[in-house]
Structure 1
Amino acid sequence: MSDAAFQEKAGRFAAMLITQAAWPATIVIAGDSVAPLVASARGALHAPFAMLGLLAAAASAVVVLGFSALLSFDALLFRLMASHDDELSGGAAIDDILARMRLKPAPAAPRPLDDRIAGTRRLLARQRIAFAVFVVAFLWAGFWMPR
């Protein structure tokens, strides 16, 4: 991959990650702020299954927010990688930062950009699963429970 193509791909992926980290976090924060109000207005706070739904929504919200923070951190790492002249030096810079932060041991050779993107896509899939659990729990606690 040429240097310009590598920088463009890493930059586009970082921008996409910021978007993918922001919108679920925004929906989760908004949903968690209105969930108790909606449940109490419907009288669902006295139903045990509705309370379990609210607790599941709160727990999955924490997981979604955690994944959003991780994706934001990854976006910053991809922007750092894109700021370097070539893929090898960008990958080495990321590995150096992660080793200094004691998050990962320094590898013998930097991983290529496509491997890093694949790992972040797995993290993105986990965030989407946690977001789906949040949506189901939120709808269950706030709207589907009988009065």
Structure 2
Amino acid sequence: MTGNTYQDRTDRFAGMLMRQAAWPAAIVLTANVLAPLAASARGAFETLPAAIALSIAAASAVAVLALSALLAFDALLFRLMASHDDEASGGAAVDDMLARMRLKPAPFATRLLDDRMAGTSRLLFKQRAALALFAAALLAAGFWAPR
């Protein structure tokens, strides 16, 4: 992969990750501010199913926020990779940084960009699943709340 193609692809992926980390976190934070107001006004905490659904929503909100933070961190690592001229030096810089931060041991071989993108895409899927669980739990709490 040539330097410009590699850098453009990596930079585009990092930008996409930042957007994908931001909007679910914003939705969860907004809903967490508004949902308790609506739930207490309707008496949602008085029924057991609604309280359980709200507990599930709270747990999945934490998961969405944690995965959004991981995606933002990965986006910054991809930006670091994009600042290097080739894939090998960019991957080595990321591996070195992760080893110095003691987040991962130094690998024997540098992983390819496609492998790194695939791992981050799995994190993105987990974030979306947690966001779907959050939305479903909020809807369930609204369904079981007394009217």
Measured in 2, the distance between the counterparts of 1:21 and 1:105 equals 26
Establish whether residue 145 from structure 1 lines up as the match of residue 138 from structure 2: no
How many angstroms does 1:44 deviate by? 1.6
Measured against aligned partners, the alpha-carbon deviations of 1:3-32 in whole angstroms (never above 9, x if no partner) come to 110000000000000000000000000111
Query: What TM-score does the superposition give when structure 1 sets the normalisation length?
Result: 0.97
Secondary structure of 2:29's aligned partner: helix
| 1:44 alignment partner AA | A
Matches within 5 A, 1:37-116: 37-116=37-116
How many residues align structurally?
A: 146
Query: Is the 8 Å Cα contact of residues 21 and 72 (structure 2) preserved in structure 1?
Result: yes
Measured against aligned partners, the alpha-carbon deviations of 1:69-126 in whole angstroms (never above 9, x if no partner) come to 0000000000000000111000000000010111111111211111100000000000
Measured in 2, the distance between the counterparts of 1:120 and 1:90 equals 16
| 1:119 alignment partner AA | G
Query: What TM-score does the superposition give when structure 2 sets the normalisation length?
Result: 0.97
Gaps of 5+ in 2: none
Query: Is the 8 Å Cα contact of residues 35 and 54 (structure 1) preserved in structure 2?
Result: no
Query: Is the 8 Å Cα contact of residues 14 and 79 (structure 1) preserved in structure 2?
Result: yes
Query: Is the 8 Å Cα contact of residues 32 and 57 (structure 1) preserved in structure 2?
Result: no
Instruction: Please list every run of at least 4 consecutive aligned residues from structure 1 whose deviation after the TM superposition is greater than 3 angstroms.
Output: none
